[in-house]
Amino acid sequence: MKIMEIFTQKKVSRRSVLKAMSATAAAATIPGCGGSGGKAYEGTDQNLVPPEITGSYVLGAAPHNCGGGCVSKFYVENGIVKRIVTDEDRDDGDVFAGKSQIRSCARCRSKADWWYRNDRLTKPLKQTKQRGDITGFVEISWDQAVTEIAAKMKNIYATYGGTSIFNLLAPSDRSDQSNNIARLTRLFGADSGTVPWVLDFSYGQHTYSYFFVDHDGLVNRPTATCVALRSANYRSDVVNSDNLVLWGYNPAETRAGAQTAWFVTNAREKGVNVTVIDPRYTRTAEAMADDYVGITAGTDAALMLSMLYYMIVNTWDENGNLMANPMLDEAFIRKYVHGFFDDTSPKHYYADIAANPTAYQVPAGASLSAYILGTDDRLTKAAMSAAAAAYTGMPAGTKINQATSVYPKTIGYNVNDSDALYNKVAPMYGQTPKTPEWASAITGVRVAKIQALATMYATKKVTTWVGGSIQRHTEGEQPVNLGPILAAVTKNFGQAGRSYGFPFEVEYKYPGTMSDKVALNGGAANGASISGDTYDFSKLTLQGGELGPYAGNTARYSPTGVAATMNGIAITVWPDYVRNAGKTGKSKWNYSRSINSTKPVKGLICFGGNFMSHSPNLKDITDLLTTKGSNGTYDIELVLTGDMFFTASSALSDYVLPCAGPGEKWGETCGWLTAEAVVMPKITDPPGEAKNEFEIARLIAAKLGLEGTYKTVGDGTGTVVNSDYEWSKYNWNQGYAAGQIDQDWDAIQKVGGVNMWDQRASKVKVIAKQKYYQDPAANPLNTLSGKIEAYCQAMTEDYEASKMNNIDTRTTDADGTASLYNGGRIYTASTAASAANRRFVYPIPMYIPPWKGSMPMGPILTCSAGRQPGIPSGNRSTIICIGHTRP
């Protein structure tokens, strides 16, 4: 059975896939792969004798797209890597004193297993039969490959315009070589040359909500770099905390920064209490936690809500009286957080909002605290504190909330009868007090533990480091929005030892940042964009000039364009967009971009990003790329991939180009958000005719007649780069010239990598939101209100501006009770205050269970899963992930 026959079956067993793949590998019949001549895997593994460590070595990293940025020593003999060990030459010890080796993990240290495998792609391949039939691939010359590819690209752009080739998320490895593929596609112009994507697989909800809920804004950060992610204080500050909470954050395994796990270990040794909240008892939990909180996956929002409930009822008693030793400070919350309490006359920090007080109010019973309390009416009895009344200007005696929760019990999804979720109803607990008992039944966390966590946040200095896992499910924005609110109302922001987000040190311009910002924009703009079709500015409270697309960092709906939704597509639904945009006007997922965009996608390019293994729906992609129209041609006219190996995505391609891997080309990288900057040296040659991405893109650009433009970097100086080496050196030295890295390109070769924070004399210590904490009126956040937004009207408006229909048209709850409670009024700029409509997207984060059946979720592969098919220990297997997986 051929691989594609298996992929296109409705029911796919892991055994059938493995069987087919192992047969394919055994036959080694794919042209262009190494095939005969290489050592069998068994031959390599058996009788393995580590070579004596002698001779010269190269320092640096050779990672794939990981979160590290670590230094290895690669011992090379006659061009062959014989042994790889970790960074070991510099001092190791107290990381807070700057003593730390930048130690590498098993992945970089096993890289030779990648380089010298006998199934590497070594020659360009062309499909000569039907897509997906691997017997149709033949070897062709590089000249034939780039000539034909360039001709197809040229034709697609000429026929369909500047957004017609989709350069699919392809992190490839941690060098910035994949940026050269992006530069290639941008040679034709457009603001990107391709359809840009947003909401990435890794941190989509984090980046999206950050811009609306608590974006620091440039005034609160020392430099303009990397402002796309919610950041905690600089990593070393953790030692100033009483407690470190690792919430869905697993640095021992996922390497968020090369040294982060060492920071946690050292902080714990210095007395910081470490709590790990995770569904899985991770290696981080096992090795570093004083306290492990096991939680049911996808229920973090319920836990956070119940912690906030516990704080509220330990501040006001059931009659609304302020209690002794209250956990919460009402005046403080009103000053820094918008919408935690009802607020029909809000006080904001920007003149445009302040001048129009009814435009951004929090209706009675619509605040987050009202939702948390449900039918509990204590805050409708409680009078504002004198300090709160003085701050808001409200008369003495004004109640804290004006009504109990206006939110219904259930939420319905009725907007599109062709949608998989049509007529589905889920609880949203609008009338339920979010007690620890309520949350315990959902989360599996004991009531006493919930109370203890709440008490800890309310009374201690807490640093919270979050990972991507808490948002990788449907409704994943809920914990992402609630987390910073939890931190804010407990005063855990803006001060030493108190912060929430990703440990963050890249206020420096690390090399990858330079390549993103400086050198991508080769080519003339032709103005093609999808925003005109897919984004309606009239839906926004603030309209007009301030909201011009890409208006710079002062536009508060879309500060940098990075997370703005106006001109990008959500990467998780790219097959839906590619299939429907500009063609059918439909969407399987009711996705507005697919429905409204008039720009068709006709070409797909993906280098080093095996879309068949990391996309949500493998079957859907297979159908998309292999189904022909009535005219007998494929809708997607070009599928081009590049990789080290023949992957499942290669099987669906028209052309497959053999690529050099990390360590076989030059590059540079850094830790994810952390301060390690590392060179990625070329350590060994790629096999056969494999080439690096700089060279591949150059060859295609030459056939397009655009080689000169391609080689000229976009900094306006006319600088020309001719090779991957020159490209990497240029990028590195941009950071050096800007004063962001202390070592120049030549110096970094001698040490492999540096911890920029340790080595810089200035040691910029970022206390996130510090200026805002000290003087919020003078240093407002970059949100619409200028505050942290517990009630975020801007988010619902962005949803509407994106032409999403967010009205839940049911008139009763699932149990037949009344429609909206208390005459609830949830409205936006485009709906009047009296609009009594339910909504699908609300301005507050609630707990809605992840939708069953909303997106296909594949298995999480474990060692035990590998044992079940009877694979003996030690054997190597090719694993294909069916459906969405977590890395």
Report the site for ligand SF4 in 69-88 (rule: CB under 6 A). 69-70
Q: Which stretch binds ligand SF4 (CB under 6 A): 46-54, 59-67, 266-274, 478-486?
A: 59-67
Q: Which stretch binds ligand SF4 (CB under 6 A): 64-72, 263-271, 486-494, 549-557?
A: 64-72
Q: Which stretch binds ligand SF4 (CB under 6 A): 61-69, 376-384, 720-728, 862-870?
A: 61-69
Minimum CB distance to ligand SF4 smaller for 251 or for 494: 251
Q: Which stretch binds ligand SF4 (CB under 6 A): 25-33, 100-108, 113-121, 860-868?
A: 100-108
What contacts 442, CB < 8 A, 6 or more positions away? 296, 299, 302, 847, 849
Minimum CB distance to ligand SF4 smaller for 255 or for 348: 255
Contact string (CB under 6 A) for ligand SF4, positions 4-43, x = contact: ----------------------------------------
Residue 579 Cβ vs ligand SF4, minimum distance, rounded to whole Å: 35
Q: Does 801 bind ligand SF4 (CB under 6 A)?
A: no
- The correct pick among 3, 30, 105, 578 for binding ligand SF4 (CB under 6 A) is 105
Instruction: Report the C-alpha gap between 364 and 707 in whole angstroms.
Output: 62
DSSP codes of every residue in 162-229:
TT-EEE-----BSSSTHHHHHHHHHTT-SSSSS--EES-TTTHHHHHHHHHHT---GGGSSSSS--SS
Minimum CB distance to ligand SF4 smaller for 149 or for 258: 258
Instruction: Report the C-alpha gap between 694 and 176 in whole angstroms.
Output: 10
Instruction: Report the C-alpha gap between 120 and 100 in whole angstroms.
Output: 36
Q: 């000290």: which residue's tokens?
A: 774
Minimum CB distance to ligand SF4 smaller for 70 or for 528: 70
Chain center to CA of 8: 29
Residue 533 and residue 161 in contact, taking contact as beta carbons nearer than 8 Å: no
CA distances from 569 to 169, 528, 661, 745, 883 (A): 12, 15, 29, 37, 20
- The correct pick among 31, 32, 34, 68 for binding ligand SF4 (CB under 6 A) is 68
Report the site for ligand SF4 in 318-357 (rule: CB under 6 A). none
Q: What is the DSSP letter of 426?
A: E
Residue 499 Cβ vs ligand SF4, minimum distance, rounded to whole Å: 24
651 is written with which tokens? 């099987």
Q: What is the DSSP letter of 633?
A: S
Q: Which stretch binds ligand SF4 (CB under 6 A): 63-71, 632-640, 702-710, 868-876?
A: 63-71
Residue 477 and residue 842 in contact, taking contact as beta carbons nearer than 8 Å: no
Residue 262 Cβ vs ligand SF4, minimum distance, rounded to whole Å: 12
Longest CA–CA span in the chain (Å) reads 86
Strand pairing class (72-77; 57-60): antiparallel
- The correct pick among 31, 32, 60, 63 for binding ligand SF4 (CB under 6 A) is 63
Neighbours of 94 (CB within 10 A): 13
Q: Does 424 bind ligand SF4 (CB under 6 A)?
A: no
Q: Pick the closest to residue 297 from 446, 476, 466 (CA basis).
A: 476
Q: 């703009």: which residue's tokens?
A: 525
Report the site for ligand SF4 in 733-772 (rule: CB under 6 A). none
Minimum CB distance to ligand SF4 smaller for 407 or for 510: 510
Element (H, E) at 638: strand 638-643
Residue 796 and residue 843 in contact, taking contact as beta carbons nearer than 8 Å: yes
Instruction: Report the C-alpha gap between 372 and 626 in whole angstroms.
Output: 49
* CA within 13 Å, CB half, 467: 24
Minimum CB distance to ligand SF4 smaller for 259 or for 495: 259
Minimum CB distance to ligand SF4 smaller for 260 or for 401: 260
Residue 122 Cβ vs ligand SF4, minimum distance, rounded to whole Å: 24
Minimum CB distance to ligand SF4 smaller for 102 or for 638: 102
Residue 260 Cβ vs ligand SF4, minimum distance, rounded to whole Å: 10
Report the site for ligand SF4 in 269-308 (rule: CB under 6 A). none
What contacts 617, CB < 8 A, 6 or more positions away? 575, 855, 856, 883, 884
Residue 70 Cβ vs ligand SF4, minimum distance, rounded to whole Å: 3
Minimum CB distance to ligand SF4 smaller for 250 or for 580: 250
- The correct pick among 25, 30, 112, 258 for binding ligand SF4 (CB under 6 A) is 258
Q: Which stretch binds ligand SF4 (CB under 6 A): 67-75, 395-403, 453-461, 596-604?
A: 67-75
| CA angle, residues 813, 815, 816, in degrees to nearest 5 | 65
Residue 83 Cβ vs ligand SF4, minimum distance, rounded to whole Å: 15
Instruction: Report the C-alpha gap between 792 and 368 in whole angstroms.
Output: 10
Residue 667 Cβ vs ligand SF4, minimum distance, rounded to whole Å: 11
Contact string (CB under 6 A) for ligand SF4, positions 238-257, x = contact: -----------------x--
Q: Which stretch binds ligand SF4 (CB under 6 A): 88-96, 101-109, 536-544, 742-750?
A: 101-109
270 is written with which tokens? 């210095």
Minimum CB distance to ligand SF4 smaller for 108 or for 563: 108
Residue 213 and residue 481 in contact, taking contact as beta carbons nearer than 8 Å: yes
Residue 197 Cβ vs ligand SF4, minimum distance, rounded to whole Å: 24
Instruction: Report the C-alpha gap between 638 and 169 in whole angstroms.
Output: 16
Angle between helices 511-518 and 724-737 (to 10 degrees): 100
Q: What is the DSSP letter of 400?
A: S
Q: Which stretch binds ligand SF4 (CB under 6 A): 104-112, 329-337, 370-378, 422-430?
A: 104-112
Q: Which stretch binds ligand SF4 (CB under 6 A): 99-107, 287-295, 438-446, 593-601?
A: 99-107
Q: Pick the closest to residue 273 from 459, 462, 549 (CA basis).
A: 462
Q: Pick the closest to residue 130 from 29, 26, 2, 34 (CA basis).
A: 2
Minimum CB distance to ligand SF4 smaller for 107 or for 460: 107
Residue 249 Cβ vs ligand SF4, minimum distance, rounded to whole Å: 15
Residue 259 Cβ vs ligand SF4, minimum distance, rounded to whole Å: 10
Q: Does 66 bind ligand SF4 (CB under 6 A)?
A: yes
Minimum CB distance to ligand SF4 smaller for 67 or for 217: 67
Contact string (CB under 6 A) for ligand SF4, positions 181-220, x = contact: ----------------------------------------
Cα-Cα-Cα-Cα torsion 274, 279, 284, 290, nearest 10 degrees, comes to 30
Residue 72 Cβ vs ligand SF4, minimum distance, rounded to whole Å: 6
What contacts 577, CB < 8 A, 6 or more positions away? 195, 569, 591, 593, 594, 597, 601
Q: Does 104 bind ligand SF4 (CB under 6 A)?
A: yes
Q: Which stretch binds ligand SF4 (CB under 6 A): 103-111, 153-161, 562-570, 840-848?
A: 103-111
Minimum CB distance to ligand SF4 smaller for 265 or for 314: 265
| CA angle, residues 258, 260, 265, in degrees to nearest 5 | 130
b/e per residue, 469-507, with b = 16+ CB within 10 A? bbbbbbbbbbbbbbbbbbbbbbbbbbbebbbbbbbbbbb
Give me the residue whose beta carbon is nearest to ligand SF4. 68
- The correct pick among 3, 17, 25, 61 for binding ligand SF4 (CB under 6 A) is 61
- Residues near ligand SF4 (CB under 6 A), total: 12
Contact string (CB under 6 A) for ligand SF4, positions 107-146, x = contact: xx--------------------------------------
b/e per residue, 6-44, with b = 16+ CB within 10 A? bbeeeebebeebbebbeebbeeeebbbbbeeebeebeeb
Which residues contribute to the site for ligand SF4 (CB under 6 A)? 61, 63, 66, 68-70, 104-105, 107-108, 255, 258
